[in-house]
Amino acid sequence: MTKTATSPYDVAEHLRTREEMAAYLEASIEEADGDAAFVAKALGDIARARGMAQVASDAGLSRESLYKALSGDRNPTFDTVLRVVGALGLKFRAKASPDVQQQSG
């Protein structure tokens, strides 16, 4: 029987355009189910695809602190998230959730 060589999958190798990065982040937010560390990890994947040193510089953060914030092991501050999203050339958008009832006051 022949052996098949495999290598670990790295999503960062497949995120080439801002549109692909935005789609990946949007899908990650939807799948996260409120898990901020999961979203931070997705941002880390995108930052690695773009170049961590460049993203850190554009966000006004050290490369080391960016790696820590986006490792998926902790929840970065919202300020850090906004700075990274901006440095990546992305924007957050909000839309109404169809499965949540609006309360009238």
Residue-wise pLDDT tens digits, 78-89: 999 999 999 999
In 3D space, the residue among 55, 62, 41 whose CA is nearest the CA of residue 89 turns out to be 55
In 3D space, the residue among 68, 25, 30 whose CA is nearest the CA of residue 50 turns out to be 25
List b or e across 49-74, with b for residues whose CB sees 16 or more CB atoms inside 10 angstroms. Answer: bbebeebbebbebeeeebeebbebee
Q: Cβ-count burial of 92 within 10 angstroms (0-12 exposed, 13-18 middle, 19+ buried)?
A: exposed
Average pLDDT over residues 40-68: 95
pTM: 0.84
Is the pLDDT assigned to residue 101 strictly greater than 90? no
